[in-house]
Structure 1
Amino acid sequence: MQRLTLEHLNQMVGIEYILLHAQEPILFIIRKQQRQSPAQVIPLADYYIIAGVIYQAPDLGSVINSRVLTAVHGIQSAFDEAMSYCRYHPSKGYWWHFKDHEEQEKVKPKAKRKEEPSSIFQRQRVDALLID
């Protein structure tokens, strides 16, 4: 197996790793793939190395699931807050009541801001990889 040319590597079958993209000092993208013939390969996973740390790239299903879950959570939070202002009385019917809630917000201390699950750089790189 040693001292063979690159043409011989394409003739072999099995799992192989290739360097898919390199941005020299900081970013490298490596693909794990199953080679079944010289012309047919099946991608198994992608890995990216940022500043010497290796991460496995999420698959498309995980990315879509995360984005949909984030959107649904925002909609659910807005709906829950809107429902907290809604009041009903049999003689009056439904109405919106905002005064009590505003006073409660003044008393409550502000919650600390949560750290985002990903950085802008990570989101842009995932989007760029999905486009490729």
Structure 2
Amino acid sequence: MDPSDVRPDDDTARFFIWHEWLQANGPLTPENVFDYFTHSMFYDAQCNNAILRMQTRLSGTIIEDEEEELRRFKGVEFVVVDAQPPTYFIIQKRDRISPDEAKPLAAYYCVHNRIYQAPDLYSLLSNRILASLFTLQTSLDILRNHRPDYTPRTGFVWPIVGDPNPAAAGAAGADASKKKNQEAEETASSDSEQPSSASAVKRPGEGSKRMNMMLLMNAMHTTAMNSVITPPETAAGSAAVADSVTAETPSTAPTPAPLPLDGIGRAPSMQVESSKTSVKKKRKRSSVAPPPSG
């Protein structure tokens, strides 16, 4: 297949404008826009339009409907297919096969007195794909230059960086803290606006605290009772001893008066006992017979 059949000459990067012709003939209209187009580089001088105009010029006839006259020819022709004077016109280039069949070859649009060639589908897709591939290749080159070192344990691991804009992060944190402070102030103000009877309402956790205190008191009371109770086998003996002690030493007996002390702080009974012990010692020494002399 000939590449020219798939993609004709690409002139999408160029445009045509002729200020002198516009000044001489005035603004563009559906009647004179094709005459303006014939002076551009997009016009083919061997088209059916040029042949038809040459024939009418030599014969001196006036063409009333040029598009209807072009049906008699075969080959390349140009037709104005859309017109929105004075700023927008579309001219189509097509190949006339029969009076009722024509194949479009290219399209041209005139916007603000400038004529452009409209890109075909092939040019449009190839351009977009080429731009996408170029962008991907550039991105991969940048990543390849900044690729981290390879380690057998983790492989290629990219470092995780924090917020690239610390100022924005700080501002967001300040806004969050400010909002939190405002919510706390609103909560405090709503609590202060409640009536004084709200103080009598049980606080959260007060019931559980009271229950814990009651359980603690019950445990202490049970421990005290268990420490007082004695074994069954010693209960009778301890009761009898307690009764005898109570009978011998009644609680109503008077307390004896203290004894007088002597000059060195001893009681009279202590003095009598000390004198008796000294007499016994003297008597014991006197009863021993003296040893024989010589």
Whether the aligned pair in 2 keeps the contact of 1:22 and 1:29 (CA below 8 Å) is yes
Q: Displacement of 1:22 after TM fit?
A: 1.8
In the TM superposition, what whole-angstrom CA distance separates every residue of 1:39-67 from its partner, at most 9, and x where no partner exists? Answer: 11121221111111111122211110111
> What is the aligned counterpart of 2:77 among 16, 22, 32?
16
What is the alpha-carbon distance in structure 2 between the residues aligned to residue 48 and residue 21 of structure 1? 9
Relative to structure 1, the CA distance from residue 4 to residue 91 in structure 2 (aligned partners, 3 Å threshold; closer, same or farther) is closer
Q: What is the DSSP-based 3-state SS (H/G/I as helix, E as strand, rest coil) of the residue aligned with 1:33? A: strand
What is the alpha-carbon distance in structure 2 between the residues aligned to residue 47 and residue 28 of structure 1? 8
Instruction: Report what 1:96 is aligned to.
Output: 158
Q: Displacement of 1:85 after TM fit?
A: 2.1
Instruction: Report what 2:144 is aligned to.
Output: 83
Relative to structure 1, the CA distance from residue 98 to residue 82 in structure 2 (aligned partners, 3 Å threshold; closer, same or farther) is farther
Equivalent residue pairs, number: 100
What is the alpha-carbon distance in structure 2 between the residues aligned to residue 51 and residue 17 of structure 1? 20
TM-score by length of structure 2 reads 0.30
Higher strand share: 1
Cα RMSD of the aligned pairs, angstroms, is: 2.5
Residue pairs, 1:86-125, within 5 angstroms: 86-89=147-150, 93-96=155-158
Instruction: Report what 2:118 is aligned to.
Output: 57
Relative to structure 1, the CA distance from residue 12 to residue 48 in structure 2 (aligned partners, 3 Å threshold; closer, same or farther) is same
* Larger CA Rg, structure 1 vs 2: 2
Amino acid at match of 1:26: T
In structure 2, list runs of 5 or more residues that go unmatched: 1-55, 165-294
Higher helix share: 2
Give yes or no for the alignment of 1:28 onto 2:57.
no
Relative to structure 1, the CA distance from residue 91 to residue 30 in structure 2 (aligned partners, 3 Å threshold; closer, same or farther) is same
What is the alpha-carbon distance in structure 2 between the residues aligned to residue 77 and residue 96 of structure 1? 19
What is the alpha-carbon distance in structure 2 between the residues aligned to residue 83 and residue 73 of structure 1? 15
TM-score by length of structure 1 reads 0.61
Q: Displacement of 1:8 after TM fit?
A: 3.6
Whether the aligned pair in 2 keeps the contact of 1:85 and 1:97 (CA below 8 Å) is no
What is the alpha-carbon distance in structure 1 between the residues aligned to residue 157 and residue 101 of structure 2? 65
Relative to structure 1, the CA distance from residue 53 to residue 68 in structure 2 (aligned partners, 3 Å threshold; closer, same or farther) is same
Q: What is the DSSP-based 3-state SS (H/G/I as helix, E as strand, rest coil) of the residue aligned with 2:98? A: coil
Instruction: Report what 2:5 is aligned to.
Output: none
What is the alpha-carbon distance in structure 2 between the residues aligned to residue 51 and residue 63 of structure 1? 23
Q: What is the DSSP-based 3-state SS (H/G/I as helix, E as strand, rest coil) of the residue aligned with 2:99? A: coil
Over the matched positions of the two proteins, sequence identity in percent amounts to: 33
